[in-house]
Amino acid sequence: MSQRGSKVAHKSRRRSQAIACIEDLRRLARRRVPRMFYDYVDSGSFSESTYRANERDLAAICFRQRVAVNVENRSLRSRMAGEDVAMPVALAPAGLCGMLHAGGEILAARAAQSFGIPFCLSTMSICSLEEVAASTTKPIWFQLYVMRARGFVERLIARAKEARCCALIVTLDLPISGQRHKDLRNGLSVPPRLAIAGLADMATKPRWCLNMLRTRRRSFGNLTGHTDGVDDITSLLAWIEQQFDPRVTWDDIAWIRRLWDKKLVLKGIMEAEDARRAVDAGADAIVVSNHGGRQLDGAPSSIRMLPQIAKAVKDQTEIWFDGGIRSGQDVLRAIALGADSTLIGRAYLYGLGALGESGVRLCLEVIAKELSVTMGLCGIADINVADAGILMPQEQMPG
């Protein structure tokens, strides 16, 4: 571990006495991050029913307790997109991390690297692709939104190649942006629109304000300076709004497949039929995901859809899962139901907002510990052998 990595690990060890679980990180983030940006993370679209269902349906899955099995040497090690990983978890792409904590994407990427798991940078990041890639020694992953300006998309893919990104995650579940009521009410914008209520709230978060005043990174790092005729934040926001492209089809995926010769991951798959199309399109992995309940409200939880999708494309592509993971137990539930690996979003974003790099590190330590303990109590020592046999079958569940 680097000197910096061990300092962060030390800091996170001291903190870990106060932080026992992801919920503790969420509470601390809520105290430290201005409401506008905290709500941006802790919200779903429209009625938030899918957002809530993601967490609720995962938590309802019961484990079977097994005894008298030697589980002394437990291994969480696995592989994702050809990489060895310390556990089958990657940091999901998330826009605006740099508004939760100055330099947020760089801090999260470093925490992921020091823990030994992959980090995926969003198109909508605050720190640029080049800055984040330069801040780690291991290649990062890049998430792409297919925007109307295909020339811009092509340049972005070329930039991801130049920045040594080793996987491209194309997000397909955002042809139109889902509406989050809280963002509308809070007047969310980047940089923040300083209405009186927002200003008053920020004044109660002095640590965040100081932190932000010290950074020059307060806009969309991948877009600023790379979009024609867009020179100030107002025109940039207008550009983004009209750039989400409702015309994206599988033909565009074929085009991207031709441009990108490394690992290609398709994110936002919620139907077996779409999973098969993704395999045909040459996806090295798919992410069973409903965007954390931020897009189609009223869609089922992603865990409900996982078993049938896993059955449809098993062994033809890697199956990754996200949506509602708030513990290592949830990671194990998803793996048992057919996922090869998982992605976490809010769990690490809370850590980032609460404590920066050491908060992300703490989040990963909490998840690894919960995963390891739960595996042992289910009677398995290797994450790679987890299957539905460690879960209580649905028909035997009470109620």
Ligand X SMILES: Cc1cc2nc3c(=O)[nH]c(=O)nc-3n(C[C@H](O)[C@H](O)[C@H](O)COP(=O)(O)O)c2cc1C
Decide if 181 is catalytic. no
Beta strand 285-288 with 318-321: parallel, antiparallel or unpaired?
parallel
Nearest distance in Å: CB 200, ligand X: 23
Nearest distance in Å: CB 91, ligand X: 9
> Which two tokens mark 68?
């008298």
Query: Of 202 and 325, which CB lies nearer to ligand X in the complex structure?
Result: 325
Query: Of 324 and 359, which CB lies nearer to ligand X in the complex structure?
Result: 324
Q: Would you tell me which residues interact with ligand X (CB under 6 A)?
A: 40-41, 54, 92-95, 122, 124, 143, 171, 267, 289, 291-292, 294, 322-325, 344-347, 349
Nearest distance in Å: CB 96, ligand X: 7
Query: Of 263 and 380, which CB lies nearer to ligand X in the complex structure?
Result: 263
Query: Of 330 and 357, which CB lies nearer to ligand X in the complex structure?
Result: 330
**C-alpha–C-alpha distance, residues 334 and 63, integer Å:** 12
**C-alpha–C-alpha distance, residues 55 and 39, integer Å:** 17
Query: Of 284 and 382, which CB lies nearer to ligand X in the complex structure?
Result: 284
Nearest distance in Å: CB 347, ligand X: 6
Residue nearest to ligand X (CB): 345
**C-alpha–C-alpha distance, residues 264 and 174, integer Å:** 18
Nearest distance in Å: CB 329, ligand X: 14
Report the greatest alpha carbon distance in the chain.
68
Report, as residue numbers or ranges, the catalytic residues. Answer: 291
